[in-house]
Amino acid sequence: MTSSINKRQALRRIAIAAGSLAAACAGINLAGCTESKPTFNAVDITGADYAKDFSLTDANGRVRTMADFKGKVVVLFFGYAQCPDVCPTTMTEMAQVKQQLGSDGDKLQVVFVTVDPERDTPEVMKAYMGAFDPSFVALIPTAEQLPPLAKDFKVYYKKVDGKTPTSYSMDHSAASFIYDPQGRLRLYARYGAGVPPMVADIQALLKS
């Protein structure tokens, strides 16, 4: 009788120990998963079902899609050349980001999509990108392409009349879309986030 009781107690201790070990292992695995997931400064929108791709002509007349930039982190921004503040500030910051990435700067592709195709001709866009970094790509949608493109990317733009027919301005969204080297939309960076946070996010995407 005593032997039977001792046997049951021994089995119980083994079961408790096994359960504790399993819980500890699960905790270790969970911690490992948590540590491997990068923490971003920009808004993480991984898995979003919009803004997945585009097919637009660049300033050299070449049709571009996201596949052209595979292997690079892509930062895509909507703006226009005569923008007085948001656009030049953003492009200046992106030039600084590329510089601060050092050797990884070649793995960054900045894409500028104009919301003012009426004035932003290929010649204008070449000069505009060249003022910041010649590697930056400008895309020029047609007047017919722009509305569905803006809808797909959930961006806002509106023409604001000026004193003359050609002196109008464009209200527009000021955030950037960031894609990983596999071409997947990952982050939404609000305007004014700063250079160091953007550098850190791009480095994290290059490592993941």
Per-residue pLDDT tens over the stretch 171-203: 999 999 999 999 999 999 999 999 999 999 999
> 142-176 pLDDT, tens per residue?
999 999 999 999 999 999 999 999 899 999 999 99
Amino acid 65: pLDDT: 98
Amino acid 129: pLDDT: 98
Q: List the chain residues with pLDDT less than 50.
A: 1-7, 10-11, 14-34
Pick the CATH number of 43-207 from 3.40.30.10, 3.30.2290.10, 3.30.70.1400, 2.30.30.230: 3.40.30.10
46-54 long-range CB contacts below 8 Å, 24 or more apart?
Answer: 46/184, 46/185, 46/186, 48/185, 50/152, 50/153, 50/154, 50/185, 51/76, 51/152, 51/153, 51/154, 51/177, 51/185, 52/185, 53/183, 54/113, 54/139, 54/149
Amino acid 128: pLDDT: 98
> Which pTM was predicted?
0.82
Domain ranges across the chain: 1-37, 43-207
Amino acid 2: pLDDT: 46
